[in-house]
Structure 1
Amino acid sequence: MQIAIAEAKAQFADLIRRAEAGEEIELTRYGRPVARLTASPRRANSLIGCAKGQLRLPDDINEGDDQVAELFRAGSVLPE
């Protein structure tokens, strides 16, 4: 849509809502396009690394891995 700058001033809030909804709005001066309102690209909230430095694994984290692997190989999760 095209709209004159003088008219856009009175409808600014509505034009922003329309741009957020995906509509491109071209602002004109004396009938010539001079600017465009578009939605800002949204940044995805990245969770990668958000807990960096907040988690401490115990020193014995890998102890017992052989037992767990053997349980999976045996097809049973309960020791006999």
Structure 2
Amino acid sequence: MYISVSDAKAQLTDLVRRAEAGDEVVLTRHGHAAVRLVPVKPKLSPEEKSRIIRELRESARRNAIPAPDAAHAADDLYDEFGLPK
């Protein structure tokens, strides 16, 4: 929803509720988008951040595909004499 700043003054409470509910609320000035109202996301506690990082690392370990290390990654491209296959 786009609404001018002057019109938004009278409807601010309703606009804040709509933004909190997920609606896009853009305030315009002279017909051009000026600002967007968005809900504030709660900050994560250090414990929550640590938990998320730990879960991501565990997931990456479980889903990792075994592959050759960098020194041997191109071995299948060359023959025993070092020439391209």
Shorter-chain TM-score bucket reads 0.5 to 0.7
Aligned to 1:42: 42
Alignment of 1:1-80 (within 5 A): 1-44=1-44
Q: Deviations over 1:9-43 (max 9, x none)?
A: 00000000011111121000111001110111123
Q: Percent identity?
A: 44
Give 1 or 2 for the bigger CA radius of gyration. Answer: 1
Distance 2:41 2:11 in 1: 23
- Aligned amino acid, residue 21 of structure 1: A
In structure 1, runs of 5+ residues without a counterpart are: 49-80
* SS in structure 2 at match of 1:11: helix
Distance 2:36 2:27 in 1: 6
Count of aligned positions: 48
- Aligned amino acid, residue 36 of structure 2: R
Distance 1:46 1:24 in 2: 30
Compare the two structures and name the one with the higher helix fraction. 2
Shift of 1:45: 5.9
Distance 1:47 1:33 in 2: 38
* SS in structure 1 at match of 2:14: helix
For CA contacts below 8 A with separation 6 or more, give which structure has more relative contact order: 1
Q: CA RMSD in A?
A: 1.7
Change (3 A) 1:21 1:46: farther
